[in-house]
Amino acid sequence: MRKRQGRYYLGRVSKVGITSAEVIDIIQKPKIIQIGQHAWTITDHKISNDQKNIFGKLVKFRPQGRLDVIDIKNSARATKIAENMIIATSPFIYISDYSGIAYLHVWNQIETQTFARRFAEIVRETKGNFFMDCEIETISDFRTFAAKVSSLTRVDRIQATVRPPNPLFGHLWEGLKTYLQQRNSAEMKISEEGIETDKGAQGLSTQLPSTISDIERSKDLQKLAPIPIGDQAILMAADGYGKGLIEGPDAANVKHIIKTTEAHLSFLADKDPLPETLEQIAIPLLETIKKQRYMEH
């Protein structure tokens, strides 16, 4: 019988004041957090032989739930109190060499943004929220992202929030990475808008459409000239180290807002996978992204 498949999304675990080894330790010994009527934790962990990758399941459960059962003696329905009743689970794999994570989207229960929030909250709560932070950021599918950006006739607005990378960085935004590290910046926000003249909107002077197209076509990025800092921030966000958006009109003068989070890289796999299987799918995908985008340690 064929196993049911689900969609897994790729992201990066952005960390401040915490190491990959500590994330792996937290996944093995997580705290339980309470959000409204539901509680959340991580179960079923399995660490790889090299201690670099770890599988687990994010679990949403109800500390006290009610189950409808059959009272056979009286041929009637009855209600049974169940403790720690599981509502939904989302399998995931954390790959420390890439700060990468792949996790299952569970419709109406543990969707992508919910997984990212709850995972980060468990890490922060287990660590004690003391001079540290943790977020899961989207890794963008550049084919989808490039198609959307190339449809714009000009770029009127760029916004991005980025964090220092760990452990990988991209060649095209290395200057921004270095700046953040030299400034001891945990986070940086960039917002740019094109000027308005009596001739109308001029748009920003940006290389993003052509640069993103070059990345999607696997052009040799190391031969490209340095790009402006605002463009670097968008690419850094698209590589999984923040969030960004681009706004501008298409040929029909219809305004579009293109977000890096909306072109989320994903793949299909079993909803209840073997840890080794999920690892064997996620690692090659993360390695392909690294090579395609000329990312380095």
SS (H, E, C) 251-294: CCCCEEEEEHHHCECEEEEECCCCHHHHHHHHHHHHHHHHHHCC
Spell out the residues 6+ positions from residue 247 whose beta carbon is closer than 8 angstroms to its own. Answer: 155, 156, 157, 158, 255, 256, 257, 258
Q: Which residues pair with 255 in a beta bridge?
A: 249
Average pLDDT value for residue range 4-14: 95
The larger pLDDT score, comparing residue 61 to residue 294, is at 61
**Of the ranges 31-45, 191-205, 220-234, which one carries the lowest mean pLDDT score?**
220-234
Percent of the chain scoring above 90 in pLDDT: 63
Q: For the stretch 159-182, what's the b/e string if a residue is b when 16 or more beta carbons lie within 10 angstroms of its beta carbon?
A: bbbbbbbbebbbebbbebbeebee
- Picking from 11-25, 110-124, 219-233, which range would have the lowest pLDDT averaged per residue? 219-233
- Among 77-91, 178-192, 217-231, the least confident range: 217-231
In this model, does residue 80 exceed pLDDT 90?
no
| Dihedral sign of CA atoms 52, 55, 60, 61 in order | negative
**pLDDT for res 220:** 63
With a threshold of 0.85, does the pTM exceed it?
yes
What's residue 219's pLDDT? 61
| pLDDT value for 155 | 93
